[in-house]
Amino acid sequence: MKLFEHEAKDIFRAFNMPTPSGGVAMTPKEATERAAEVGKPVVVKAMVLAGKRGKAGGVKFADTPQEAEKFAEEILKMRINDLPVEAVLIEEKLDIEQEIYAGITIDRNERKYVVIGSAAGGMSIEELAEESPEKIIKMYVDPSLGFQAFEARQMAIAMGFKGKQINQLGSFFLKLWKIVEAYDVELTEINPLILTKDGKFYAADARLNIDDNSLYRHKAIIEKLKREPVDQNERERLATENDMAYVELDGNIACICNGAGLTMATLDAISLYGGKASTFLDLGGGADAERVEKGIEIALMYPKVKAILVNIMGGITRCDDVARGILAARNDGDITAPIVIRMVGTNEEEGQEILKKAGIPFLKTMEEAASKVVELVKEVA
């Protein structure tokens, strides 16, 4: 469960972590009021569970309450990563000396939590790792001991801080760890953690993801927030409601398969032939015609999709049911992009006959299908 920035900061403050003064606004008028309460220049930030808000225009600086109202009106009309902005956070604009990164996540290869810090904050940790990996400091947490105060200070020293700033920054890392322990956190980060010109540290940002499997232990959070997880766009929500595994990627070929392993192999095959997948959509086992049609409908809702590859290996999923679903999608006008079909297994002859009678071509190997769909995308482009 991902928390909005203001929700995460409420938890940060409960652990005595300094944050900029301010509040949430649902309307431009409320933004004016929040800015007036701050009484200083403010930052207006889109409250949306998506990264890179600044690059999308979802973070603006305002010198007056009237300017904050104007920016809030603009931001509240936005969609970022296809998610609507329904609130903005109005906070004091800090006098920045340095931007720092501080975070804790799980390293599944090491099977440990890892504390991450960098004196070069303000950019995504992924970009920083790629461009300047030497600037990232990591410390693994011994699960039997937890993260210790002396280790938090060692992180600050390794990041280049001296004097009283060692304890101040170390305190942030230690408090992050206590939050991780208290709330079964998968990822928490502050980017940027601000060092102001008068020598104080503030959590200017806050990210907090709680393990969904632990939510039964944190019902009080859900009750307090008065909401269920809301980080899904419309396509993801529909896939979840229909018990489909759905992940959006950066390419333009939608992969609709049955089984996670087959779907991953299909993504690899597309990459092998020079294409790039836009969609991982696993129909699951035993998909009937209605489910197949729904999967195609969901996949084509994603604007990046230029072609579809349906790759089915029939077991409990029957190829004749898949063929009927594809035919229904075509007859209902759901198929608005080129489609390539490969299906083998249970009732494959019956399924292929249905497609043949309908004039819908199909291929017999995944390699042929992947090569064909990549070729079709190039033709469309």
Q: Give the residue numbers annotated as catalytic, written as ranges.
A: 101, 189
Instruction: Please state at what angle helix 164-183 crosses helix 149-158, rounded to 10 degrees.
Output: 130
Calculate the CA dihedral of residues 172, 178, 179, 181 and round it to 10 degrees. Answer: 150
Quote the DSSP letter at residue 199: S
Round to whole Å and give the CA distance between 162 and 306.
54
Round to whole Å and give the CA distance between 61 and 67.
9
Instruction: State the sign of the Cα–Cα–Cα–Cα dihedral 211, 212, 214, 218.
Output: positive
Could you give the 3-state DSSP secondary structure of residue 115? Answer: strand
Question: By C-alpha distance, which of 372, 376, 360, 379 is closest to 292?
Answer: 360
Round to whole Å and give the CA distance between 83 and 282.
23
Residues 280 and 287: beta-carbon distance below 8 Å: no
Output b/e per residue, 133-169; b: 16+ Cβ within 10 A: eebbbebebeeeeebeeebbbbbbeebebeeebbebb
Residue 328: CB atoms within 10 Å: 17
